[in-house]
């Protein structure tokens, strides 16, 4: 007797768990969907469904999760908004995102969180979550913010970047750690050193000085302070956008306390080349650094130090990036739409395996932050799928980017590997660069306590 499902994704190479070793493996199988969830994985000889997608020669990945984006909504929507940012995610095979709090006004109250969430309910093309932000004057609100549905936790800036959220003092950092329960997510740059060394950037007047001004020591001092304090207080933290060799070597020894994120930009751009080629378009915080730092980040992926890959998608208009004189130019680059393709190219080049990419960009974000029903191709999990062609060669072009900023640091780059389809809860939402239907992302649900390392 035939088993009846809503849809079947047939003859694809699926990235799934090996039940014996618990390691990810790739295997040609069929996947059946019922009521928005994966119902069965196996052979479809006895299956029946009104919709059957033949995916021969394609790979099906668990839906990608970008756990660090800035969609600039509200207050800075000339750069980006939830609708345009989530559209890029959909086009690039990212099925869920965590959005950061340095908007205008900053997301420092439950009410501000709820305002963003209401906008996302109406306009987000993919699934969503929103961080609350820590500041000097909202310590009493942190507990309620991180317990708000669809909030992964609290974000803290130890070094000034874009926006006015900053907690640089040691006693305030300790208080934020005391007031929160979920894993604290932190931008680590040592503010006093940034202020002390800003003259380097001002005298240079060129972004090639960016990684000299905001040097390795600026990042390391903040990371060391955060992790040591968290360890002493019995807390767990997540260190965002680790960019330096010294940080990576330190964090390798601190896995009981800190999880580690590395960005696509830091792995695929390096100084001085990017600054000479892209100028202020390559400016971000922490900076893109020299190749020996980049090599250390790749080693951290191979040896297990790195837990999560993300983008820190942070767009500004071309006018904002190009018309002022450095260092008055803003820091940040778009990246959510190119996230999956740029790593597919690195898979082709042998820098990372497809299975490890899925672990770092889907399974681990879901596990570390306690996202319910996401991150794996397994019966009972939500049918969020990123479907890719690993052999397709193409060129990234600015005209493909759906950001309001309309540019990418990877414009003109020839790569191998392309996102062909994006599936949300079993429904085809993007196919062959064509959006299907209206925005219908849902809020991500999180466990209430600290997630596991």
DSSP string, 251-307: HTT-TTTEEEEEEHHHHH--BTHHHHHHGGGG--SSPP-BHHHHHHHHHHHHTT---
Q: How many Cβ atoms sit within 10 Å of the Cβ of residue 96? A: 29
The question of whether 273 is a catalytic residue gets the answer: no
Question: At 135, is the secondary structure helix, strand, or coil?
Answer: coil
| Cα(396)–Cα(105) distance, integer angstroms | 34
DSSP string, 316-339: --HHHHHSSPTTSSPP----TTTH
Question: At 177, is the secondary structure helix, strand, or coil?
Answer: helix
| Cα(146)–Cα(438) distance, integer angstroms | 29
Place of tokens 């759906």: 402
Per the CB < 8 A criterion, the answer to whether 308 and 366 are in contact is: no
Per the CB < 8 A criterion, the answer to whether 340 and 419 are in contact is: yes
| Cα(305)–Cα(295) distance, integer angstroms | 13
Active-site choice (312, 345, 382, 384): 312
Per the CB < 8 A criterion, the answer to whether 72 and 383 are in contact is: no
Token readout for 184 is 């604290």
DSSP string, 202-259: HHH-SGGGHHHHT-HHHHHHHHHHHHHHHHHHT--EEE-S---HHHHHHHTT-TTTEE
Q: How far from the centroid of its chain's Cα atoms is residue 257's Cα?
A: 21
Residue ranges of alpha helices (H) inside 360-418 are 364-369
Nearest to 63 by CA among 363, 348, 306: 363
Residue ranges of alpha helices (H) inside 109-215 are 110-123, 142-146, 170-179, 191-204, 210-213
Q: Is 215 left (phi over 0), alpha (psi -120 to 50) or beta?
A: beta
Instruction: Tell me which residues are annotated as active site.
Output: 312
């Amino acid at each position: 007797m035939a088993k009846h499902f809503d849809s079947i994704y047939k003859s694809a190479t699926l990235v799934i768990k090996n039940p014996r070793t618990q390691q990810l493996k790739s295997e040609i199988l069929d996947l059946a969907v019922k009521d928005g969830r994966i119902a069965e994985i196996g052979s479809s000889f006895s299956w029946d469904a009104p919709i059957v997608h033949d995916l021969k020669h394609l790979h099906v990945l668990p839906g990608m999760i970008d756990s660090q984006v800035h969609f600039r909504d509200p207050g800075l929507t000339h750069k980006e908004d939830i609708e345009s940012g989530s559209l890029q995610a959909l086009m690039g095979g990212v099925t869920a995102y965590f959005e950061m709090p340095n908007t205008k006004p900053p997301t420092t109250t439950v009410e501000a969180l709820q305002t963003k969430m209401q906008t996302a309910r109406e306009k987000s093309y993919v699934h969503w979550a929103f961080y609350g932000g820590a500041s000097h004057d909202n310590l009493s609100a942190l507990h309620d913010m991180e317990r708000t549905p669809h909030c992964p936790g609290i974000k803290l800036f130890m070094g000034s970047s874009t926006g006015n959220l900053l907690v640089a003092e040691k006693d305030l950092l300790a208080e934020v750690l005391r007031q929160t329960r979920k894993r604290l997510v932190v931008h680590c740059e040592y503010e006093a050193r940034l202020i002390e060394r800003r003259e380097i950037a001002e005298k240079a007047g060129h972004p090639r000085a960016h990684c000299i001004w905001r040097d390795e020591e600026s990042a390391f001092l903040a990371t060391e302070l955060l992790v040591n304090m968290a360890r002493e207080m019995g807390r767990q933290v997540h260190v965002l956008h680790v960019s330096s060799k010294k940080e990576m070597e330190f964090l390798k020894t601190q896995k009981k306390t800190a999880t580690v994120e590395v960005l696509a930009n830091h792995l695929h751009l390096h100084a001085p080349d990017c600054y000479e080629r892209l100028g202020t378009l390559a400016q971000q915080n922490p900076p893109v650094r020299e190749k020996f730092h980049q090599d250390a980040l790749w080693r951290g992926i191979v040896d297990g130090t790195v837990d999560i890959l993300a983008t820190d998608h942070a767009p500004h208009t071309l006018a904002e990036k190009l018309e002022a004189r450095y260092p008055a130019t803003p820091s940040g680059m778009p990246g959510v739409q190119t996230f999956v393709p740029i790593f597919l190219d690195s898979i082709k080049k042998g820098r990372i395996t497809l299975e490890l990419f899925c672990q770092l960009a889907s399974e681990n974000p879901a596990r570390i932050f306690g996202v319910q029903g996401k991150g794996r191709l397994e019966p009972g999990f939500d049918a969020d799928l990123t479907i890719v062609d690993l052999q397709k060669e193409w060129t990234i072009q600015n005209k493909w980017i759906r950001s309001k900023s309309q540019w990418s640091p990877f414009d003109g780059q020839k790569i191998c590997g392309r996102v062909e389809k994006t599936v949300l809860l079993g429904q085809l939402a993007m196919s062959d660069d064509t959006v299907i239907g209206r925005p219908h992302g849902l809020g991500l649900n999180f466990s209430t306590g600290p997630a596991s390392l």
